[in-house]
Chain A
């Protein structure tokens, strides 16, 4: 299957700092990527849809100024958590569709665990 890679896998930061998470499609081009957040023992929650070359579409309740998304190329989308606070600690996951695979099949990154102290 197609490969989506995230970096870093885990990060610990101090409250008030910003953290950038990268999501790359390694063997295909992704015009659209999705960013999710998952708290312990809970399901995935869609945060935003990242569109290459245009602004991201955020889900209701997600602060766009806090969670900055940039999709500058067809293989890279970044999520920056600005002025992180302990309540932002979570597992962040990105996904993308690959044109060469089953229509509708989403490929997910390994996830990035953020811990804000």
Chain B
């Protein structure tokens, strides 16, 4: 119940294409769903986040789609660029205010 399942584990997309990463959860008490981006040698950094009262949130080329009934959410990166190559993590805020439950990560490579 406390897991967040993330797929795919790795993804290769051509420059200009759309990158899509999916996450699923079980615990309906989760109420905050962030996506973090991590470059080699750096810690994760918050990219975009959503709460379950909306079905979509867009910030520039990054969009979160949220399906509450299916308990799924996804990250879409439009017009993907080589600089977007990184590892992406989805997460959900669990029963504790401080406990983020993390997906296992997706290594994204954008080919020029």
A pairs with B: no
A binding-site residues for B, Cβ under 8 Å: none
B binding-site residues for A, Cβ under 8 Å: none
